């Protein structure tokens, strides 16, 4: 019986027969030689009945090994797990053509791959792990590699699944596709779907799923795709042919990055939240948010479809967008963009040309090819710094306003290769701004209300130093004065 393993040093263990063999041999051939070793200890067993002093094998590894005897398969599957419980692999698995490696056909299963590799070796019609139409609810799969399947590595539609410490690579279909409310942690999907004509992607999960520390790289299609209510923390998507990260409504993407993807870096539907993310060198927009999205502390650089693009009622705060092809930031109606920086974009730094009723405040735009800020009607544009924009000499402006009823206040525009502030619609108010070294500092449409423009460009006054009372050199005491410096 092999269910009991005993320590070699325990009395009553299997070590005693071995010593008996030795003793017999020595007794026949030369006991005196061995007699010198008699100090090995007493040979008499302790009093009392013989009893095991160590664990049965079943206690050493109580989980069920995945094998032909314990989890027999069928014509389509190597192994089928049909009961709840805890299972583990005992070695690598090579999946033959036309088979799935493991099918989980019960709820509450824990499957530990134990670091082994399940490989389809590119054989035809192979899957890694599947379920039966979602019956593997609450399953956990962890710790291994699934590779080279003709189709997907993990193809499960059950809800509430958990996947941790998996590497899914070089599969013909999805790296992983799952149902709703799943949790993926430290899942790596690399180079999946590269040989297919479709674009399945690396990691896909249904609504209410959470992703922690996941990586999707070089997949054909999406890097990471999640349904509504998804939470992504510390995830990375790069070099995928589609969008890097795509999430449904009410999802949050935090501390994550999307780099060098073939589509949008991070794409969010309405009420998406991106916080402390980076999106660089993507073919599409860096970060795109739909209605009422919120983008904070994010960086978007060198994207081919603009930096950050949000829809109605959205908010951008404390972000930076640079060297993007097209706009740095683009907002639609009723948005707010504050405390952000847009530099060296080939379009406008901040494009609110469809952003009626938006607020743009305390931002810096510099060296963008077109305008620094381009705003529509009813925008409140205040306390921004716009410098060296319209660098291609397009005659653009530090700030341009093309709609009515806006308020342009306390901005500073410097060295733009066109206008400093250009208001191209009536009924706007322009007060307390300053312009310096623009080709043309000011250009206001008719029927606008603006404070006096005070030209201090040729001012000839002495400097001053001290604590005493000194007269103004501005040349105006008008509280609404706009000043050329």
Q: Shortest distance, CB of residue 412 to other proteins, whole angstroms? A: 15
> Which one of residues 82, 132, 325, 338 is an interface residue with other proteins (CB under 8 A)?
338
> Which one of residues 49, 463, 466, 479 is an interface residue with other proteins (CB under 8 A)?
479
Token pair of 33 as six digits: 């030689």
* CB distance 185 to 214 below 8 Å: yes
* CB distance 221 to 198 below 8 Å: yes
List the one residue out of 377, 354, 380, 381 whose CA is nearest residue 365: 381
Name the residue nearer to other proteins (CB basis): 217 or 312: 312
Determine if 317 is a binding residue for other proteins (CB under 8 A).
yes
Q: What are phi and psi of 123, to 5 degrees?
A: -70, 155
> Which one of residues 47, 51, 60, 460 is an interface residue with other proteins (CB under 8 A)?
60
Name the residue nearer to other proteins (CB basis): 5 or 124: 5
Name the residue nearer to other proteins (CB basis): 118 or 226: 226
* CB distance 175 to 192 below 8 Å: yes
Separation CA 22–CA 28 (nearest Å):
10
> Which one of residues 100, 119, 126, 210 is an interface residue with other proteins (CB under 8 A)?
210
- Tokens 């620094």 label which residue? 372
> Which one of residues 119, 171, 256, 271 is an interface residue with other proteins (CB under 8 A)?
271
Separation CA 25–CA 228 (nearest Å):
76
- What x-and-dash track marks residues 274-313 binding other proteins by CB under 8 A? -x---------------xxxx-x---------------xx
List the one residue out of 423, 414, 319 whose CA is nearest residue 367: 414
Interface of this chain with other proteins, residues 378 to 437, rule: CB under 8 A: 378-380, 382, 404-407, 427-429, 431, 435
* CB distance 345 to 327 below 8 Å: yes
Q: Shortest distance, CB of residue 239 to other proteins, whole angstroms? A: 26
CA pseudo-torsion sign 9, 11, 17, 20: positive
Determine if 42 is a binding residue for other proteins (CB under 8 A).
no
Name the residue nearer to other proteins (CB basis): 190 or 315: 315
Name the residue nearer to other proteins (CB basis): 109 or 193: 109
Q: Shortest distance, CB of residue 129 to other proteins, whole angstroms? A: 16
Q: Shortest distance, CB of residue 483 to other proteins, whole angstroms? A: 10
Determine if 84 is a binding residue for other proteins (CB under 8 A).
yes
Token pair of 186 as six digits: 């430290």
Separation CA 435–CA 207 (nearest Å):
50
* CB distance 413 to 393 below 8 Å: no
Q: Shortest distance, CB of residue 152 to other proteins, whole angstroms? A: 23
Determine if 6 is a binding residue for other proteins (CB under 8 A).
yes
Determine if 249 is a binding residue for other proteins (CB under 8 A).
yes
Separation CA 185–CA 232 (nearest Å):
10
Name the residue nearer to other proteins (CB basis): 325 or 339: 339
Separation CA 240–CA 251 (nearest Å):
21
Determine if 65 is a binding residue for other proteins (CB under 8 A).
no
> How many residues sit close enough to other proteins to count as binding (CB under 8 A)?
124
* CB distance 304 to 325 below 8 Å: yes
Name the residue nearer to other proteins (CB basis): 122 or 143: 143
Determine if 86 is a binding residue for other proteins (CB under 8 A).
yes
> Which one of residues 280, 365, 390, 441 is an interface residue with other proteins (CB under 8 A)?
441
Q: Shortest distance, CB of residue 348 to other proteins, whole angstroms? A: 19
> Which one of residues 67, 165, 443, 474 is an interface residue with other proteins (CB under 8 A)?
443
DSSP assignment string, 225-276: EE-TT-EEES-EEES-SS-SEEE-TT-EEES-EEES-SS-SEEE-TT-EEES
Interface of this chain with other proteins, residues 129 to 148, rule: CB under 8 A: 138, 140
Token pair of 465 as six digits: 């130093």
- What x-and-dash track marks residues 164-183 binding other proteins by CB under 8 A? -----------------x-x
Separation CA 139–CA 150 (nearest Å):
24
> Which one of residues 228, 243, 374, 387 is an interface residue with other proteins (CB under 8 A)?
228
> Which one of residues 43, 45, 50, 55 is an interface residue with other proteins (CB under 8 A)?
55
Angle at 104 between CA 99 and CA 105, to 5 degrees: 110
Q: What is the largest CA-CA distance in the chain?
A: 123
Q: Shortest distance, CB of residue 114 to other proteins, whole angstroms? A: 12
> Which one of residues 237, 335, 375, 386 is an interface residue with other proteins (CB under 8 A)?
335
Three-state SS for 108?
coil
Q: Which residues contact 460 (CB under 8 A, 6 or more apart)?
A: none
> Which one of residues 173, 242, 307, 451 is an interface residue with other proteins (CB under 8 A)?
451
């Amino acid at each position: 019986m092999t269910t009991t393993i005993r320590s070699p040093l325990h009395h009553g263990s299997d070590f005693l027969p071995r010593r008996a063999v030795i003793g017999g041999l020595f007794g026949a051939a030369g006991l005196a030689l061995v007699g010198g070793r008699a100090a090995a200890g007493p040979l008499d067993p302790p009093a009392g009945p013989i009893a095991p002093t160590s664990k049965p094998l079943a206690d050493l590894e109580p989980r069920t090994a995945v094998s032909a005897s314990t989890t027999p398969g069928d014509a389509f599957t190597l192994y089928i797990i049909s009961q709840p419980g805890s299972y583990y692999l005992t070695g690598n698995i090579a999946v033959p053509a036309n088979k799935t490696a493991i099918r989980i056909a019960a709820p509450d299963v824990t499957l530990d791959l134990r670091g082994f590799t399940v490989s389809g070796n590119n054989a035809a019609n192979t899957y890694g792990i599947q379920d039966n139409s979602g019956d593997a609810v609450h399953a956990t799969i962890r710790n291994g590699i699934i590779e080279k399947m003709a189709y997907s590595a993990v193809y499960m539609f059950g809800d509430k699944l958990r996947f941790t410490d998996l590497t899914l690579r070089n599969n013909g279909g999805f790296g992983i596709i799952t149902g709703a409310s799943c949790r993926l942690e430290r899942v790596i999907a690399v180079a999946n779907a590269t040989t297919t004509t479709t674009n399945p992607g690396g990691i896909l999960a249904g609504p209410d799923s959470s992703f922690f520390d996941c990586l999707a790289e070089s997949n054909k299609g999406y890097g990471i795709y999640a349904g509504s209510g998804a939470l992504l923390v510390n995830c990375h998507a790069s070099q995928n042919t589609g969008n890097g990260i795509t999430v449904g409504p009410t999802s949050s993407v935090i501390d994550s990055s999307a780099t060098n993807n073939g589509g949008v870096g991070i794409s969010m539907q309405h009420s998406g939240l991106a916080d402390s993310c980076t999106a660089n060198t993507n073919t599409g927009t860096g970060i795109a948010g739909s209605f009422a999205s919120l983008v904070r502390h994010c960086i978007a650089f060198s994207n081919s479809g603009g930096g950050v693009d949000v829809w109605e009622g959205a908010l951008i705060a404390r972000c930076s967008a640079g060297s993007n092809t097209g706009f740095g930031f683009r907002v639609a109606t009723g948005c707010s963009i504050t405390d952000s920086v847009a530099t060296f974009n080939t379009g406008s730094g901040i494009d609110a040309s469809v952003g009626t009723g938006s607020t743009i405040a305390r931002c810096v735009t510099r060296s963008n090819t077109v305008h620094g800020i381009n705003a529509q009607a009813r925008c409140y544009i205040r306390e921004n710094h716009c410098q060296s924009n319209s660098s291609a000499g397009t005659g653009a402006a530090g700030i341009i306003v093309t709609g009515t009823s806006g308020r342009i206040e306390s901005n500073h525009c410097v060295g733009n290769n066109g206008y400093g502030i250009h208001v191209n619609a009536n009924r706007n108010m322009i007060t307390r701004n300053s312009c310096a070294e623009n080709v043309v500092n000011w250009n206001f449409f008719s029927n606008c209300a603006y404070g006096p423009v005070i030209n201090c460009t040729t001012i000839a006054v002495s400097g001053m130093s001290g604590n005493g009372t000194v007269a103004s050199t501005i040349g105006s005491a008008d509280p609404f004065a706009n000043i050329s410096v």
